[in-house]
Every structure is written in structure tokens, then in C-alpha cells.
Amino acid sequence: MNIGNPAKPYFLDVDTGSDLTWLQCDAPCRSCNKVPHPLYRPTANRLVPCANALCTALHSGQGSNNKCPSPKQCDYQIKYTDSASSQGVLINDSFSLPMRSSNIRPGLTFGCGYDQQVGKNGAVQAAIDGMLGLGRGSVSLVSQLKQQGITKNVVGHCLSTNGGGFLFFGDDVVPSSRVTWVPMAQRTSGNYYSPGSGTLYFDRRSLGVKPMEVVFDSGSTYTYFTAQPYQAVVSALKGGLSKSLKQVSDPTLPLCWKGQKAFKSVFDVKNEFKSMFLSFASAKNAAMEIPPENYLIVTKNGNVCLGILDGTAAKLSFNVIGDITMQDQMVIYDNEKSQLGWARGACTRSAKSILSSFP
């Protein structure tokens, strides 16, 4: 995204599992990772004061850890489930956003992060300059666009198995048909996008596990199941594999197999595996198909690995549908109507092919 005046480019991780957008920031930086672009440099007149409504909302959503040492600025500290964190101050600056007829440059509030910790390794080379928070809270970028009357509070993404894809704000490209819609469930903990409880099927047979609480989170690369469904999936997979696949150790992921020769892509091996389905009771005929290419990856060693991980190790009490499972489908988070939707189709970059793929 292009941010600031003059606008400068920054790579952001598209995260529907958190609210706050932030950039690594030269304020000066206490602990920053090596990032693709020069650090964002704030000016004092861009500081968001402590009394600002978005500061209050952010602090109330994050418990009592966040306080303002000075009324002139809004300090924040945010922690993620993978132990990463960002600490900084809120800033308001221009975002360049392409709309259908022209570019607009609204002033939006985001975090200027001067202290980032990524897991246990300290400073690392990062592929991104920061996070794009698209969650349900009022500080989320899509909520701010709605508040300013720029777009409806709808966000969607389409991630291609070939890399690339697209992200949209507002409901302009939401297809009029072929979308499976379910009401958003109100979760007791965390403000996540959840379609509610789903029953898991493997090759159209129930796996016999109780309905799973599910959230959609584009900030998670892989999909995470809690202990019972994870073990059931692993057992079903192992029980259905042909003799040509042998389990093998691969540093990429915990459960991998090798074939008689190295695989180049998931499509070389998908016929050896079966589709899974998540069926949601909250809407009629609402099921998400999870074909093999939406739960497997091929590693640089030519092995095929399971991209569904055991959430117990990550201390998750719910099941996370991550990017791997959302590939090649448009996923729509509609906060106007409190519903989630998905439609399978090619996620290529051009607007023409977007609309022709999703009639």
C-alpha cells in the first residue's frame, strides 16, 4: 500500500484476524526487523491524541496493558498468538486507494511500531513492512473507511494457488450468485470472523468428531485444528494412502510423504488424496469444500506435506482456517449484513477475469 505524503510503498500482511494496521517505524526504532522498504518516518503533527475515540477503542479491546503516558499520544502494545508483538504509537496519515473512477487519499489511523518482536529469534529479515488489520473492531482499516463514508464495511480476498490474487474493500465486486453465505457467529472470546461451528467430513464421510468452532484468519498461513479433529484427519489420511507414498521427515512441516519421484506441485499428487468438507449448521446447504490443493503443500525437497497443523502446540482453543485453505476462492467478510461468504474460482489479478470467474 502507498502511505504518506508524498506516498511511499509498503508491503503489508493482509490480516483479517486482527484490527490494528501498523508499519515498522523510525521513531526512532528500538527493535525492528530488516524490512523491504525504508522505515516509515512519522512527524509530531501526525500523532493521534490519547482522547481520540480510536485510541479508546483500541485500549478497551486490548485489556488494561495499554495506557497513555502522555495525553498528546496514544501508545499501544499488541501481541499475536505466534508470540510476535508490536509496540508503538498511533499515527494518522494518507493512504492512496484506487477506487473505480479515481484514486482517493483518506487520512487513516494506524500504528507506528518502534519495537517489534518476532517469535523468539529477535530481529529477522521480514518479507513485509507491517500488518494490514482488517478485523471487526473500529480501528480496523475497513471500519475506518466505512466511518468516513468511503466504502461499505465489506472486505474480501482471493488468493491464487499460483501466487498473487486480489483484495477488495466495499461490495462492488461481490458476486450476485454462487456465493455460499453463513451468518457471522458472535464468539465469546476474541473479535474474530467466525462462521460458527462446523462438522468435518473426509471423502464425504463424517469423521465422528463433535462440531468444531471455526474462525477465518488470513493472517495465518496454515490451517490449525484442535487436538481431536487434527488426530481424526491424520488417521483418515494415513488410512487412505496408496503404497507409493512413504512417510518422510522434512524440516518444512511435521507430516510429509515422498513419492517414487520428487513432486513439482500439489497437482502431481492430489489424486492420491481425498477432499474434506466443513458443513455449517447455521445456514442451509452451507459447506466449504477443502480439496487436496487446499490442505497440502509441496516442499523444495519434492515431498508433499499436510498444511493443517495441530493447534494445541499454538495454544489455540478454536480451529483456524488459514490462507492455504482459502486459496482459489473469493472469501467475503460482510460486516454490513454480519455474514461470511465464499465462492470457488480462479484468483488471477485482472479485474475482467475477476468478474468473469465469479458470475
Among 88, 62, 64, 93, which Cα is nearest to 76's?
Answer: 88
106 preceded by a cis bond (ω within 30 of 0):
no
Contact 10, 1 (CB under 8 A): yes
Would you call 194 helix, strand, or coil by DSSP? strand
Contact 267, 244 (CB under 8 A): no
Location of C-alpha cell 457471522: 184
Give the Cα separation of 46 and 1 in Å (integer): 18
Give the Cα separation of 221 and 309 in Å (integer): 11
Catalytic residue among 217, 323, 328, 334: 217
Handedness of CA 294, 235, 309, 297 (dihedral sign): negative
Burial of 167 (0-12, 13-18, 19+ CB in 10 A): middle
Burial of 217 (0-12, 13-18, 19+ CB in 10 A): buried
**13 tagged catalytic:** no
For residue 24, how far is the Cα from the chain centroid? 19
Nine cell digits for residue 278:
466443513
* Radius of gyration, CA atoms only, the chain: 21
**203 tagged catalytic:** no
Contact 333, 156 (CB under 8 A): yes
Catalytic residue among 15, 75, 323, 334: 15
> Pseudo-torsion of CA 359, 161, 86, 122, nearest 10°?
180
- 219 — phi, psi (to 5°)? -80, -5
- 246 — phi, psi (to 5°)? -120, 135
List residues with catalytic annotation. Answer: 15, 217
